[in-house]
Amino acid sequence: MFLFAGDTRLHFDLHCSGNPSLAARISSYGYEQRRTYASNAESVRDVSMQSSEDAPLVVLFLGAGASVFEGLPTGNQLRDKALARQLELTRVDSGNFQDAARSFFRKLRGSSRLRAGEYDAGEDVFVSNLTLERILLEEQSQENQANCHTVRSFARDHALVAAALREARGSGKFSGDPLVNLLEMRRRLVLVTVNFDRTLEIKAGESIKPYVDENEFSDLPNYLRSYRDNGGPVPLIKLHGDIDNPKSIVANIEETAGGLSAARLGALEGLVDVMKEQAVRPWWFVGYSMRDLDLDAQWQSTGFADTMVEHWVAPFADQSVAKFIRNYRQPRWDRKSFGYRLDNRLVSLTARDFFELLWKQTKDRW
């Protein structure tokens, strides 16, 4: 039996979770996207079969989609809320985002707040690339501080979620959580994130070793090699800072457009260098959109693109992920004659289902 639904708003956690779940959609952008649980399971099985000699470390790069199931807003939801506040609108969502973003562009142009690249690229490019960071720049300028309204608002929401998570952990409710189970193995995985929440630290406790500030980043390559050989708390590299330390949060377009700070860049490059010592270099983007300006140079570099075995985990391909692959990966794949397409590297699962599948397939192998 096939069930067709039209004129619906897709809710990933509701419609794309479990097996069976939503099998395909025809998007508003005019192309079909299919989801096949069997092929998703095969992709995860590939990494679970890699030995500790071939792939002693496996990187999970966590975007907002990896935290949303804990009740925290995604980056786009924060962006839309901040945009609504800038324009004094009741709400911004997918239905009016395009118009709101264009209004924001014109507001910046009228007040001479457009940056040179934005002015030259024009309104359409500005709208398609508008991020939370760009809107935070205006808030920070208006308030003359990095800890601006949206950051403070997120901190309040985060405090409520964090309190509930601590209570849940104290009562043992995470004993069956697949990501917590993976982290409690204390080996193989390396976590990198642009999220600045603390849900992982709360849920996994001493099984996590966070790297947040400039001093900590300098020690990362040494720890990675020790961890690779001996195990230990799973390194969590927080490239954009931590909500409990607002000064560490990298959410300013002036900084992100210019690239990561020297310490953060050194940490990321140190991880890449350690990964290059392996025979196989698995790198999984989980719920990540590839839109952070400060990471563009890293993702587009030949040294990264030609050595890492990349996969993207999301129920459906984000527009920006599809664009990134079309511009920066597909030409390389075509030249290498591997025959890869987006569907070969997209694992169309929710973050929760991915962690569940990864745990089931690795617990007796890793």
Contact 171, 252 (CB under 8 A): no
Length of the chain counted residue by residue: 366
Domain match, 245 and 298 both: yes
110-119, 251-260, 268-277: least confidently modelled range: 251-260
Unique residue bearing structure tokens 């929760």: 352
Q: Which of 149, 165, 195 is the last residue of a domain?
A: 149
Peptide bond into 20 cis (omega under 30): yes
Buried b (16+ CB within 10 A) or exposed e, 313-339: bbbbbbeebbebbeeebeeebeeeeee
338-358 pLDDT, tens digit per residue, is 778 888 899 999 999 999 999
Give the pLDDT score at 251: 60
More confident position, 238 or 259: 238
Whether the per-residue pLDDT at 168 is higher than 80: the answer is yes
Report yes or no on 3 lying in a domain: no
Report yes or no on 62 lying in a domain: yes
Q: Residue 229: which pLDDT band, with cuts at 50, 70 and 90? A: very high
Report yes or no on 162 lying in a domain: no
CATH number for the domain harbouring residue 277:
3.40.50.1220
Report yes or no on 27 lying in a domain: no
More confident position, 229 or 115: 229
73, burial (CB in 10 Å: exposed 0-12, middle 13-18, buried 19+): middle
Domain match, 312 and 179 both: yes
Report the predicted TM-score, pTM, of the whole model to 2 decimal places: 0.87
- Structural domain of residue 140, as residue ranges? 75-149
Pick the most confident of 4-13, 16-25, 263-272: 263-272
Structure tokens at 254: 């002036």
Mean local confidence (pLDDT), 8-32? 68
Three-state SS at 192 = strand
Give the pLDDT score at 72: 79
Give the pLDDT score at 4: 61
Domain match, 182 and 128 both: no
Structure tokens at 69: 């199931």
**Beta-sheet strand order (sheet of 282-286):** 208-211, 234-238, 189-193, 58-62, 282-286, 309-313, 346-347
Mean local confidence (pLDDT), 53-72? 85
Calculate the alpha carbon distances from 306 to 153, 328, 358 in Å: 40, 11, 25
Q: Residue 215: which pLDDT band, with cuts at 50, 70 and 90? A: confident
Report yes or no on 121 lying in a domain: yes
Domain match, 100 and 238 both: no
* 341 Cβ neighbours under 8 A, 6+ residues apart: 330, 333
Domain match, 216 and 230 both: yes
16-20, 154-158, 193-197: least confidently modelled range: 16-20
Report yes or no on 163 lying in a domain: no
Domain match, 180 and 311 both: yes
Treating both helix axes as pointing N-terminal to C-terminal, what angle do 132-143 and 149-170 enclose, rounded to 10 degrees? 120
Domain match, 278 and 188 both: yes
Domain match, 184 and 289 both: yes
Pick the most confident of 41-45, 63-67, 189-193: 189-193
96-118 pLDDT, tens digit per residue, is 999 999 999 999 999 999 988 88
Strand partners, 284: 60, 311
Give the pLDDT score at 210: 96
Three-state SS at 26 = strand
Instruction: Supply the DSSP symbol for 327.
Output: I
Report yes or no on 354 lying in a domain: yes
15-19, 272-276, 284-288: least confidently modelled range: 15-19
Whether the per-residue pLDDT at 14 is higher than 70: the answer is no
Strand partners, 60: 191, 284
Q: Mean pLDDT for the chain?
A: 88
Domain match, 83 and 195 both: no
Give the pLDDT score at 252: 58
User: CA-to-CA distance for 60 and 236, rounded, in angstroms?
Assistant: 10
Give the pLDDT score at 79: 93
Domain match, 88 and 184 both: no
Whether the per-residue pLDDT at 256 is higher than 80: the answer is no
Amino acid at 322: A
Give the pLDDT score at 268: 94
Domain match, 193 and 291 both: yes
Q: Residue 31: which pLDDT band, with cuts at 50, 70 and 90? A: low
Report yes or no on 296 lying in a domain: yes
User: CA-to-CA distance for 341 and 138, rounded, in angstroms?
Assistant: 39
Percent of the residues in the chain that have a pLDDT greater than 70, as a whole number: 91
Mean local confidence (pLDDT), 109-135? 89
Mean local confidence (pLDDT), 128-145? 88
Number of domains in the chain: 2
User: CA-to-CA distance for 366 and 356, rounded, in angstroms?
Assistant: 15
More confident position, 270 or 215: 270
Domain match, 181 and 296 both: yes
Q: Residue 282: which pLDDT band, with cuts at 50, 70 and 90? A: very high
Contact 102, 233 (CB under 8 A): no
322-336 pLDDT, tens digit per residue, is 889 999 999 999 888
Give the pLDDT score at 28: 61
Give the pLDDT score at 122: 94
For 140, phi and psi rounded to 5 degrees?
-65, -35
